[in-house]
């Protein structure tokens, strides 16, 4: 195994189906991957453990990898050897970075959207339940339809109905534009970055404490050949910061970084099978 080469994966809808656990086929590929891999997840540690780590452990994966969670800003190391060992390597605090006043401006802006009839969700089969503003410490996740504590058939059906509504109406695009205008000062002065989070929410992070962080960290630690896989490598997507990193380092002859846009976990599976043959 070449220690200077690594694959870096987004998790939700890249390694796993949306909001679901790792499929057995993907677990087998990751078990036998002849390349070091790490993950850069938009979600928090608990969800990465549920979606990825537990299924990998159950499938017999033995090895270690780093999980850069909350859009890449917090770093953990997982060692799986029949047991799961977890070490915290780095954490970041968005509230402390912004300061109390700017952070409260952010919270107030999100609350105002939830109370604004202009942004009411008016779609058959879609209802709001669960937490809508989730402070994860290093980032804030904003979910207008709410984030249920437990995903059950009803919650999945509600999620699917919202995705159809969002694609038909451009609902999240309208909110994204509003947020970037309303929070212009915080974006300018505090380095706030607002992107789509998965299929239903928004991820609010700080520039540099996003998915550029794992790539920057890995290159600083000696990796010279990185391939990033993500389903949101588009304007407004939470993987798009990776493209910024690549653009900033394209003249560096010592470093090779590329990004692969995938359409879902099956596409990732096909891409991996082609790359490692």
pLDDT tens sequence for the chain (277 residues): 445 999 999 999 999 999 899 999 999 999 999 999 999 999 999 999 999 999 999 999 999 999 999 999 999 999 999 999 999 999 999 999 999 999 999 999 999 999 999 999 988 889 999 999 999 999 999 999 999 888 899 999 999 999 999 999 999 999 999 999 999 999 999 999 999 998 999 999 999 999 999 999 999 999 999 999 999 999 899 999 999 999 999 888 889 999 999 999 999 999 998 887 6
Global pTM reads 0.91
Where in the sequence numbering do the catalytic residues fall?
10, 12
CA distance 135 to 148: 15
CA distance 77 to 53: 11
What's the whole-number average pLDDT of the chain? Answer: 94
Q: 94-206 in CATH: which number?
A: 3.30.1240.20
CA distance 259 to 158: 32
What pLDDT, on a 0 to 100 scale, did the predictor assign at position 3? Answer: 52
What pLDDT, on a 0 to 100 scale, did the predictor assign at position 274? Answer: 86
Distances (CA, A) of 177 to 33, 58, 76, 219: 40, 42, 33, 33
What's the chain's length in residues?
Answer: 277
Q: Which CATH superfamily, name and number, covers 5-92+209-275?
A: HAD superfamily/HAD-like (3.40.50.1000)
Q: Structural domain boundaries of the chain?
A: 5-92+209-275, 94-206
Distances (CA, A) of 28 to 3, 24, 35, 68, 230: 21, 6, 14, 22, 19
Closest to 198 (Cα-Cα) out of 44, 6, 24, 75: 44
């Amino acid at each position: 195994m070449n220690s200077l080469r690594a694959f870096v994966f987004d998790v939700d809808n890249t390694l796993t189906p949306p909001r679901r656990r790792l499929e057995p086929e993907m677990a087998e590929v990751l078990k036998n991957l002849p390349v070091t891999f790490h993950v850069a997840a938009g979600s928090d540690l608990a969800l990465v453990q549920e979606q990825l780590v537990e299924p990998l452990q159950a499938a017999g994966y033995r090895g270690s990898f780093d999980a850069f969670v909350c859009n890449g800003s917090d770093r953990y190391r997982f060692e799986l050897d029949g047991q799961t060992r977890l070490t915290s390597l780095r954490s970041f605090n968005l509230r402390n970075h912004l300061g109390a006043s700017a952070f409260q401006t952010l919270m107030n802006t999100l609350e105002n959207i939830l109370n604004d009839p202009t942004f009411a969700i008016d779609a058959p089969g879609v209802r709001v339940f669960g937490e809508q503003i989730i402070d994860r410490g290093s980032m804030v996740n904003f979910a207008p339809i709410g984030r249920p504590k437990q995903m059950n058939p009803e919650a999945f059906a509600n999620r699917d109905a919202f995705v159809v509504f969002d694609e038909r109406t451009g609902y999240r695009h309208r909110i994204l534009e509003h947020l970037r205008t309303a929070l212009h000062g915080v974006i300018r002065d505090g380095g706030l970055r607002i992107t789509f989070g998965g299929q239903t929410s928004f991820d609010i992070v700080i520039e540099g404490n996003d998915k550029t962080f794992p790539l920057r960290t890995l290159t600083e630690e000696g990796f010279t050949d990185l391939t990033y896989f993500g389903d949101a490598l588009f304007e407004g997507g939470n993987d798009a910061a990776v493209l910024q990193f690549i653009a900033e380092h394209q003249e560096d002859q010592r470093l090779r970084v590329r990004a692969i846009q995938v359409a879902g976990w099956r596409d990732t599976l096909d891409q991996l099978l082609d790359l490692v043959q």
